[in-house]
């Protein structure tokens, strides 16, 4: 028997299931693995013996792979579990590798972000240390696009499409009144501004929104911001500002409300950058102002995914299986852009030691001098990533995603131990 375990970890994206679908689809073609197991809630599913037999599931559900490709968040659930340093507590490593042996595991695939790649690094190092034949392969994902060693990460293109579409639709909303107004849209990205930068894709022949874009890679200056908005209000009725949740001032302090605020129930108030800037504009400029936090929808709105993103994520899942066949371990699947126009990418892999725990920030060449917009280089980088709409089935007016009752307690549909 030659089996594998796939697990998912970190925050959700709409493409993380597409990579899982890619592994399953590749195996349907070449039958490299007898059984593909899904570990429920990341690596903790291995520690708690919670596996789902995905080979079996795939046979039972018609169109499983195609539906999985467009189902948001994680079909296998997630975890925020960080493995101890090798040597600090080897009991957990022993448990994992005994379990691998018991289930006749040939490869462990981990789809996730930076923390998950840290797990890939540790498990593959440990395997080498104990001479285990188990291969460990990482497949990236993150809407933040902040993983090194790859052109862009699965999930980013779809989130970028959601952000740009939302900004375009918000622009239409703001055009309707002939009065001065400011709309501040807060976009996810604590440390990297890639997703906020994608708001620039919303601009077209009739709309310059967002007129201002602020990323966390540049120190944020409140006075300059007020000046920027004021200037834009001179030429536009409605000004739309895209701002990363992670913007910080020159001292590294987050731009957010954190003071001794209390609401009418006596509870302390906290709010993000968008809300904080809303109040700045209201006070300093006295114009109509509103803030919109796109919030978690930007990472789970599969109905508006980028087909390019989902296809590439699937390809990276297939590549992972091929890497396993080739005997690779301790690597992360990567994507290399070979040509920008026409957009062409190829999958590859990189030693996990060169990737884990590094953050890919937006280079300063992609931010304008004033720090309130992105450059054409950024737009050229972003444009191909949001192209195409996936086929999503609708049932009674709503997207018909895959049933994920195995993640919901009470429904008891988890296969507790698959032999």
Which residues does the annotation mark as catalytic?
Answer: 144
Contact 76, 40 (CB under 8 A): yes
Binds a second copy (CB under 8 A): choice among 47, 86, 257, 287: 257
Contact 3, 39 (CB under 8 A): no
DSSP reduced 3-state for 364: helix
**Backbone torsions φ then ψ of 340, nearest 5 degrees:** -90, -35
Contact 126, 97 (CB under 8 A): yes
In this chain, which stretch among 75-83, 121-129, 133-141, 368-376 interacts with a second copy, using CB under 8 A?
75-83
In this chain, which stretch among 23-31, 172-180, 339-347, 351-359 interacts with a second copy, using CB under 8 A?
172-180
In this chain, which stretch among 98-106, 115-123, 262-270, 316-324 interacts with a second copy, using CB under 8 A?
262-270
In the complex, minimum distance from the CB of residue 212 to a second copy, in angstroms, rounded to a whole number: 16
In the complex, minimum distance from the CB of residue 316 to a second copy, in angstroms, rounded to a whole number: 20
Binds a second copy (CB under 8 A): choice among 1, 265, 342, 365: 265
Site size toward a second copy, by CB under 8 A: 90
**Backbone torsions φ then ψ of 216, nearest 5 degrees:** -70, -10
In the complex, minimum distance from the CB of residue 144 to a second copy, in angstroms, rounded to a whole number: 16
Q: What angle do CA 190, 195, 201 make, to 5 degrees?
A: 155
C-alpha separations of 100 from 143, 267, 329 in Å: 30, 48, 15
In this chain, which stretch among 60-68, 252-260, 312-320, 344-352 interacts with a second copy, using CB under 8 A?
252-260
Contact 138, 23 (CB under 8 A): no
Binds a second copy (CB under 8 A): choice among 62, 87, 252, 266: 266
Which parts of 98-157 interact with a second copy (CB under 8 A)? none
Q: Does 82 bind a second copy (CB under 8 A)?
A: no
CA atoms within 13 A on the CB side of 417: 6
Binds a second copy (CB under 8 A): choice among 105, 197, 276, 349: 276
| Gap between the Cα atoms of 128 and 134, Å rounded | 9
Binds a second copy (CB under 8 A): choice among 295, 340, 344, 357: 295
Which parts of 368-407 interact with a second copy (CB under 8 A)? 383, 385-389, 394, 396-399, 401, 403-405, 407
- Burial letters for 407-419: b for 16+ Cβ neighbours within 10 Å, e otherwise? beeeeeebbeebe
| Gap between the Cα atoms of 253 and 220, Å rounded | 10
Q: Does 71 bind a second copy (CB under 8 A)?
A: yes
Helix (H) or strand (E) holding 140: strand 135-140
Q: Does 237 bind a second copy (CB under 8 A)?
A: yes
Helix (H) or strand (E) holding 166: helix 156-174
Binds a second copy (CB under 8 A): choice among 168, 192, 332, 345: 168
Number of other residues whose CB lies within 10 A of the CB of residue 145: 28
Q: Does 79 bind a second copy (CB under 8 A)?
A: yes
In this chain, which stretch among 73-81, 97-105, 314-322, 349-357 interacts with a second copy, using CB under 8 A?
73-81
In the complex, minimum distance from the CB of residue 355 to a second copy, in angstroms, rounded to a whole number: 23
């Amino acid at each position: 028997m030659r089996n594998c375990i796939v697990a998912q970890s970190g925050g959700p994206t709409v493409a993380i299931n597409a990579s899982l679908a890619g592994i399953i689809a590749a195996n349907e073609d070449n039958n490299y693995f007898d059984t593909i197991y899904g570990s429920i809630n990341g690596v903790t599913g291995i520690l708690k013996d919670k596996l789902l037999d995905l080979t079996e599931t795939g046979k039972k559900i018609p169109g499983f792979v195609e539906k999985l490709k467009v189902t948001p968040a994680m079909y296998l659930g997630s975890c925020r579990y960080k493995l101890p340093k090798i040597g600090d507590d080897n009991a957990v490593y022993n448990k994992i590798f005994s379990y691998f042996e018991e289930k006749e595991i040939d490869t462990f695939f981990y789809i996730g972000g930076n923390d998950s790649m840290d797990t890939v690094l540790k498990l593959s190092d440990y395997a080498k240390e104990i001479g285990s034949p188990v291969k460990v392969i990482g497949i990236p994902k993150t809407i933040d696009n902040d993983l090194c060693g790859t052109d862009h990460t699965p999930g980013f293109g779809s989130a970028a499409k959601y952000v740009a579409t939302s900004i375009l639709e918000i622009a239409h909303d703001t055009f309707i009144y002939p009065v001065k107004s400011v709309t501040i849209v807060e976009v996810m990205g604590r440390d990297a501004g890639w997703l906020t930068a994608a708001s620039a894709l919303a601009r077209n022949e009739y709309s310059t929104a967002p007129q201002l874009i602020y990323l966390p890679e540049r120190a944020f200056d409140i006075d300059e911001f007020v000046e920027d908005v004021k200037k834009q209000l001179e030429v536009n009725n409605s000004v739309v500002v895209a701002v990363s949740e992670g913007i910080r001032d020159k001292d590294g302090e987050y731009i957010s409300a954190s003071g001794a605020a209390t609401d009418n129930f006596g509870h302390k108030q906290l709010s993000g950058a968008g809300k904080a800037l809303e109040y700045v504009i209201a006070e300093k400029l006295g114009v109509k102002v509103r803030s919109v936090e796109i919030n978690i929808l930007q990472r789970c709105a599969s109905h508006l995914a980028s087909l390019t993103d989902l296809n590439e994520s699937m390809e990276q899942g297939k590549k992972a299986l091929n890497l396993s066949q080739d005997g690779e371990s301790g690597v992360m699947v990567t994507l290399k852009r070979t040509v920008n126009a026409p957009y062409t990418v190829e999958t590859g892999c990189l030693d996990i030691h060169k990737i884990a725990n590094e953050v890919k920030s937006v280079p300063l060449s992609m931010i304008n001098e004033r720090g309130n917009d992105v450059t054409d280089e950024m737009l050229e980088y972003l444009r191909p990533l949001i192209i195409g709409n996936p086929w999503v089935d609708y049932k009674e007016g709503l997207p018909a995603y895959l049933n994920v009752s195995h993640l919901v307690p009470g429904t008891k549909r988890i296969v507790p131990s698959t032999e």
